[in-house]
Amino acid sequence: MKYPLGIQTFAKIREESYLYVDKTETLYDLIHQGEVYFLSRPRRFGKSLLISTLEALFRGQKALFDGLYIADTDYDFATYSVVKLEFSEDEFATADSLRDYIYNAVNDIAERHDIELVKQSYSQRFGELVRKLHNKTGQKVVLLVDEYDKPILNNFNKLVLAEIHQVMSAFYAVIKPLDEHLRFVFITGVSKFAKISVFSGMNSLKDISMNKRYATLCGVTQQELETNFSLAIEQLANHEGMDRAQILAKIKHWYNGYRFHHSADGVYNPYSLLSLCQDQEFLHYWFSTGTPTFLINLIKDQQFDLAEITKVELDDSAFVAMEPGQISPLPVLLQTGYLTIANYHDGLFALDFPNHEVKHAFNRIIIEQFAHTKAGINTQYIRQLASALAQKDVSGFFDTMRIFFANIPFDITLKHEKYYQSLFYAIITLLGYQLEAEVSTNIGRIDCVLQTQNTIYIIEFKLNDSCEAALKQIQDKQYAQKYQHSGKEIVLLGVEFDQDSRNIGEIVEHLVA
């Protein structure tokens, strides 16, 4: 079996007999239901392959679809002129580089069709190309745009962002007047940003990012996994010493869980799944391809408490367009694939990490970035923490924890409490233990509850106060009462943050009888 890792060209996959998961039934429905679409999906989720497949369909390359669903339908495979713009091809460090890319791409397409363009503006030149293509061929034009938002994501929190935003808006504003010349428009991206004319000006555009009908258009469903990857599953089961049911459960735990509608099936990240099948090893494939710097900076700048991820519930406004200069971490984490829909109730969405790969790797990068430790070295300390907890060595546990806090930059003060809470949460998450922050009781809120297999640690942190005062608060407010029937040993921990050493200070523990 040949797995198309890194191959985003539909023709190459089909002509060279790479594995292809047939999505053409959904594409047939898509083409017949409307004409102007936008689809948001995380990176490495098959958006470019989807664009390439649509290109082959509208170029009338019927032979490439032999044996696929759409070949046995009434689709006519008519030939259209296709204008394809792939914004993943450049870094776009300046607004001029974005203008130049559009200008040159339009020129290349015009030359291939022997069309002379006279307009000077990059945006007007694009409109001229579409009109002349339609007039020359007698067929309306198909417009495909891949990774439309890359110029924004590459320049987040940079001074050039406003100018790049303006260039993009001017370009997409030209599309609306071209309606009579366009047969089909499909635009992909990671995020949806407001005040770009493709969204604010195109009334006919249909955003299918959270549409149940198209929720599995990108990604691999459980049924598709078991149907198309049988050989790899069998090989992996033999390699891991598991039966089929066990290995399927492990694959699901690691890589499934993305949901793009609250009642739709979950899907696997295709890049991770293909990598697993090819390498026959469980690794953090998707996360290793890069984490946007702007995302980590956003979490830091807004002092976002990562422990709140599984607590906050959002309404559907979290899924609509964001303002590039006014965004909050949760919608960005959702749109970029670090979070997904975990549950839905009474109009509210609960979010969580989609799977083990993302949860583990995300918290690992948070530790590296927040504690400023070197990549790879944290594993040693994490194992020391796990060993200390297993032995109920509270003193040893906090000795190791101090290593992480010691590397926090001087300009991060202890007043930034959420910064420290997020780091603590990320560390405990990597240990694999259950951690709850700001736990409500009938008379107060517990700072932190950490549960191991046999022990519950109730933790109260104090800044500018003693560890004894923290322990007294736990006892006075009877925080342990909530867990008395858990069947586990309960340990109360008062923890002092020492402002002078900028680290964890004294601790005191008390075993509940």
Q: Where are the domains of the chain?
A: 10-214, 222-288, 370-511
Whole-angstrom Cα Rg for the chain: 26
Separation between Cα atoms, residue 3 and residue 212, nearest integer Å: 28
pLDDT at 421: 74
Query: Which CATH class name applies to 10-214?
Result: alpha beta
Residues in the chain with pLDDT values less than 70:
194-198, 200-203, 291-292, 321-326, 375-376, 410-417, 513
Closest CA to 255 of 286, 234, 299, 227: 286
AA identity, residue 249: A
User: What is the structure's pLDDT at 324?
Assistant: 62
Closest CA to 231 of 268, 277, 172: 277
For the chain, the helix, strand and coil percentages under 3-state DSSP, each to the nearest 5: 45, 20, 35
Q: Residue 380 has what pLDDT? A: 86
- Biggest alpha carbon distance in the chain? 87
- pLDDT of res. 321: 67
Give the H or E element holding residue 448: strand 445-451
| Token pair 């559009």 in the structure block, residue | 102
Q: What is the model's pLDDT at position 498?
A: 79
Identify the pLDDT of residue 99: 96
pLDDT number for residue 336: 87
- The DSSP result for 113-130, as a single string, is TT------SHHHHHHHHH
| pLDDT per position as a tens digit, 408-466 | 776 665 556 677 777 888 888 888 887 887 787 777 788 889 998 899 999 998 877 89
Q: Which two tokens stand for residue 362?
A: 């995300």
Fold of 370-511: Trna Endonuclease; Chain: A, domain 1 (3.40.1350)
Rounded distance, CA 4 to CA 13, Å? 7
Provide the pLDDT for residue 4. Answer: 96
pLDDT at 413: 56
Q: What is the pLDDT of residue 465?
A: 83
Q: Give the angle 170-183-335 at the CA atoms, nearest 5°.
A: 55
- Axis crossing angle, helix 417-431 with helix 394-406, rounded to the nearest 10: 120
- Give the 3-state secondary structure of 42-77: CCCCCHHHHHHHHHHHHCCCHHHHCCCHHHHCCCCC
Nearest to 451 by CA among 473, 469, 429: 429
What does the pLDDT read at residue 191? Answer: 85
* pTM of the predicted protein model: 0.89
The token pair at 510 is 């008390």
CA distance to 81, 243, 340, 370, per residue, from 250 (Å): 45, 11, 19, 30
